[in-house]
């Protein structure tokens, strides 16, 4: 039996995708070898690569002036690559510090470029995203960096700040589970290991005109968006297995209604779990402001830490994994990514109801 995996990433992948990969594992399309043994210059891999990147463009709806890139190093490398590629001398970038991941993005950007905090939610405990009018953008700002969903605190950006400068968006934890505001963005990035596949790479969309010529020339190839764009992300050996599985996950997302379909499915799962929390008469509590609650990472607390420990123990025994909150904040968290079956969300809702009744009497 498959376990109910609520991990925040790497996370559960659709069973049909895993089964398909298993069938193809030892003899990939009659080549007599597995996909990970093929040359990345082979025809068979070339087709996989082109199809996966094509599906990323199709499902996301990225306009033609965006390059679709796959880059190793996860979302974390993008914390540095975005400022390195987008900011020429004398220009700077603002960062909306909405939670733990935005803080890391700003800290890395600070090492390579001139950047500043345009809003900071730390004082309030990162329980909400800013009202767009609270975001302060300075002169000489080339982009505003935002995190569409803070995976650790469980909050999501409901309103994109429209300040007149383009956005660079970290969409790691709700990638393709909501529309991308293409008119407002220059770069969108995210690690694949939540909604889109296994770990090992980031999927990155870059408006090609946003990378100044001089900046691109001064960067080592692997750190240059232009280099990835010009080589179709085949300038060196790509993360072939991750690209291959992402292609299968993307095809499944497309066949189930694309972004609107995934957005709907995610909302249904989130409603189930938030419904239990809101109907629990204060037994379960969400620290997040209600309007900014994440759809993909439901963060919740129980009456005290002893009861939380018991909740985690008993849920593990009942076949659930990944429900502990991030080690930096504690508590509990249920991640509801694309691969999670509705039946797993239903099972968790039922378990939470039962646990509350058993504990409270």
Interaction site with ligand PMP (CB under 6 A): 9, 74-76, 101, 147, 151, 170, 172-173, 191
Distance CA 257, CA 171 (A): 20
Kindly report the three-state secondary structure assignment for every residue of the chain: CCCEECCCCCCCCCHHHHHHHHHHCCCHHHCCCCHHHCCCCCHHHHHHHHHHHHHHHHHHCCCCCEEEEEECCHHHHHHHHHHHHHCCCCCEEEEEECCHHHHHHHHHHHHHCCEEEEEECHHHCCCCCCCHHHCCCCCCEEEEEEECEECCCCEECCCCCCCCCCEEEECHHHCCCCCCCHHHEEEEEEECCCCCCCCCCEEEEEEHHHCCHHHHHHCCHHHCHHHHHHCCCCCCCCCHHHHHHHHHHHHHHHHCCHHHHHHHHHHHHHHHHHHHHHCCCCCCECCCCHHHECCCEEEEECCCHHHHHHHHHHHHHCCEECCECCCCCCCEEEECCCCCCHHHHHHHHHHHHHHHHHHHC
Distance CA 171, CA 259 (A): 13
User: Residue 97 Cβ, how far from ligand PMP at the closest point, in Å?
Assistant: 13
Q: So which residues are the catalytic ones? A: 101, 170, 194
- Residue nearer to ligand PMP on the CB measure, 94 or 191: 191
- Residue nearer to ligand PMP on the CB measure, 96 or 302: 96
User: Residue 191 Cβ, how far from ligand PMP at the closest point, in Å?
Assistant: 3
User: Residue 50 Cβ, how far from ligand PMP at the closest point, in Å?
Assistant: 24
- Residue nearer to ligand PMP on the CB measure, 76 or 316: 76
- Residue nearer to ligand PMP on the CB measure, 85 or 147: 147
User: Residue 131 Cβ, how far from ligand PMP at the closest point, in Å?
Assistant: 21
- Residue nearer to ligand PMP on the CB measure, 74 or 161: 74
Q: How far is CA 82 from the centre of its chain?
A: 16
User: Residue 238 Cβ, how far from ligand PMP at the closest point, in Å?
Assistant: 16
- Residue nearer to ligand PMP on the CB measure, 78 or 85: 78
Shortest Cβ contact with ligand PMP: which residue?
74
Under the phi-then-psi rule, with left for phi > 0, alpha for psi from -120 to 50, and beta for the rest, what region is 294? beta
User: Residue 151 Cβ, how far from ligand PMP at the closest point, in Å?
Assistant: 3
- Residue nearer to ligand PMP on the CB measure, 318 or 329: 329
User: Residue 11 Cβ, how far from ligand PMP at the closest point, in Å?
Assistant: 10
Q: 251: which 2 tokens? A: 């095809």
């Amino acid at each position: 039996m498959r376990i109910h995996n609520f991990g925040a990433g790497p996370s559960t992948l659709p069973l049909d995708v895993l089964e398909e990969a298993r069938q193809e594992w030892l003899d990939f399309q009659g080549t007599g070898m597995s996909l990970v043994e093929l040359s990345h210059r082979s025809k068979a891999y070339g087709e996989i690569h082109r199809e996966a990147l094509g599906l990323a463009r199709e499902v996301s709806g990225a306009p033609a002036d965006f390059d679709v890139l796959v880059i190793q190093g996860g979302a974390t490398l993008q914390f540095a690559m975005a400022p390195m590629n987008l900011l020429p001398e004398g220009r700077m970038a603002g960062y909306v510090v909405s939670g733990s991941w935005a803080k890391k993005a700003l800290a890395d950007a600070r090492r390579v470029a001139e950047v500043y905090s345009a809003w900071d939610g730390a004082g309030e405990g990162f329980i909400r995203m800013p009202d767009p009018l609270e975001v302060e953008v300075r002169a000489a700002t080339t982009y505003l960096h935002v995190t569409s969903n803070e995976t650790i605190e469980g909050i999501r950006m409901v309103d994109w700040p429209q300040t007149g400068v383009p956005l660079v968006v970290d969409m790691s934890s709700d990638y393709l589970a909501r529309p991308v505001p293409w008119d407002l963005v220059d770069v969108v990035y995210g690690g694949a290991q939540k909604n889109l596949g296994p770990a090992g790479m980031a999927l990155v969309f870059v408006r090609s005109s946003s990378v100044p010529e001089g900046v691109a020339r001064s960067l080592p190839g692997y750190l240059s968006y232009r280099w990835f764009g010009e080589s179709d992300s085949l300038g060196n050996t790509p993360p072939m297995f991750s690209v291959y599985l992402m292609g299968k996950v993307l095809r499944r997302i497309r066949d189930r209604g694309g972004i609107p379909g995934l957005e709907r499915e995610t909302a249904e799962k989130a409603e189930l779990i938030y419904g239990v929390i809101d109907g629990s008469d204060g037994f379960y509590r969400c620290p997040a402001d209600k309007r900014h609650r994440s759809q993909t990472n439901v963060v919740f607390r129980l009456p005290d830490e002893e009861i939380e420990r018991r909740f985690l123990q008993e849920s593990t025994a009942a076949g659930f994994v990944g429900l502990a909150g991030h080690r930096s904040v504690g508590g509990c968290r249920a991640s509801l990514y694309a691969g999670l079956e509705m039946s797993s969300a239903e099972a968790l809702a039922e378990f939470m109801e039962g646990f509350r009744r058993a504990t409270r009497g």
